[in-house]
């Protein structure tokens, strides 16, 4: 994790240094790099887009930096980046800031889909969970499987560390920004959560769908009345699966020039194919 931090710092330092050069008075317009900044969840995805795009378009530079969706949005408002990566939609207040600062509306472009699975142990008989139930589990209001129709066993909830984008998403979308219960155990990485859940019959965890082995993914219902849905490409794509989210690009006004051709490439077949390679879902079906 520290290594990643160092790499991120180096990359951002390099980005700052290079973008400084690029904006110098004597450099030509075509050498100015395209900057992409924002969500940490999307850094790997955006990086792989940028690498492949640069391979196809030698001479063009795309710089990707993380920092979090909030950091990216702030940079977009301050004019510090061409494209902002965000794993959450921009708030109306933030959109207004862009309008008043730049006189243009912000352009929202969904570029990929992400789904979040709820894991339980394979021996756990629970059939499905509703979103409010999941929220009650992670805010500490439900502490026993009996309350969910299971057997009488103290519920052990596993979650991610608070530096994780998945933690943020879960907190915003499932807990409606309430705090996690203190008893929620946090583990470094989705792999560790899967391991722990597979060994612990009374536990529950969350994480990416791609990781699910040795454990059972519980179908989720939006509320009491709706049907239970398992996460899959189809259900995430149609939005039937409740714990899915769009990943966005934001630009100021309509994108143009190199920024536009990069975004077009991302939304085209090749760009979308890369989504699956790094564990997300394409937003556009061929």
Kindly list the residues in this chain that would bind another protein in the complex (CB under 8 A): 1-2, 4-5, 8, 40, 66-68, 71, 154, 156, 161-164, 167-168, 171, 177, 179-180, 182-188, 192, 195-196, 199-200, 202-203
Residues 6+ apart with CB under 8 A from 5: none
Nearest distance from residue 73's CB to another protein, in Å?
A: 13
User: For another protein, which is the closer residue by CB, 7 or 228?
Assistant: 7
Least CB distance to another protein at residue 187 (A): 7
Beta strands in 165-241 (DSSP E): 185-187, 203-207, 216-218, 220-221
Identify the three-state secondary structure at position 94: helix
Q: Give long-range contacts, CB 8 A cutoff, 24+ apart: 232-241.
A: 233/281, 236/113, 236/115, 236/281, 237/113, 237/281, 237/285, 241/115
Q: Is the CB of 192 or the CB of 284 nearer to another protein? A: 192
Nearer of residues 196 and 275 to another protein, judged by Cβ: 196
* Residue 233 C-beta: closest distance to another protein, Å: 28
Supply the minimum distance, in Å, between the C-beta of residue 162 and another protein. Answer: 4
Q: Which is nearer to another protein, 161 or 270 (CB)?
A: 161
Nearer to another protein, 17 or 228 (CB): 17
Whole-angstrom Cα distance, residue 39 to residue 19? Answer: 20
Residue the block writes with tokens 């929620």: 184
Kindly state the smallest distance separating residue 119's Cβ from another protein, in Å: 15
What the block records as the tokens of 42 is: 């999307």
């Amino acid at each position: 994790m520290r290594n990643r931090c160092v790499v991120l710092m180096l990359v951002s330092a390099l980005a700052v240094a290079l973008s400084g050069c690029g904006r110098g008075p004597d450099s030509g317009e075509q050498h100015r790099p395209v900057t992409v900044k924002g969500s940490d969840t999307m850094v790997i995805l955006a990086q792989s887009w940028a690498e492949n795009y640069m391979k196809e378009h030698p001479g063009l530079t795309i710089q990707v930096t993380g920092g979090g969706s909030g950091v990216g949005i702030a940079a977009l408002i301050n004019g510090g980046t061409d494209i902002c990566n965000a794993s959450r939609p921009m708030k109306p207040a933030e959109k207004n800031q862009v309008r008043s600062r730049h006189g243009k509306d912000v352009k929202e472009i969904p570029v990929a889909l992400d789904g979040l699975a709820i894991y339980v142990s394979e021996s756990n008989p629970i059939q499905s969970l509703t979103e409010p139930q999941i929220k009650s589990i992670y805010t500490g209001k439900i502490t026993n499987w009996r309350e969910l129709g299971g057997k009488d066993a103290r519920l052990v909830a596993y979650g991610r560390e608070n530096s994780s984008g998945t933690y943020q998403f879960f907190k915003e979308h499932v807990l409606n920004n309430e705090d996690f219960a203190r008893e929620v155990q946090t583990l470094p990485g989705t792999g560790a959560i899967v391991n722990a859940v597979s060994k612990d019959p009374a536990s529950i965890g969350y994480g990416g769908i791609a990781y699910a082995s040795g454990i059972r993914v519980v179908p989720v219902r939006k509320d009491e009345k709706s049907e239970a849905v398992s996460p899959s490409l189809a259900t995430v794509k149609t939005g039937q699966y409740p714990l899915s989210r769009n990943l966005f690009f934001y630009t100021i006004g309509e994108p143009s020039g190199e920024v536009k051709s990069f975004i077009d490439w991302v939304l085209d077949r090749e760009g979308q194919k890369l989504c699956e390679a790094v564990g997300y879902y394409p937003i556009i079906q061929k």
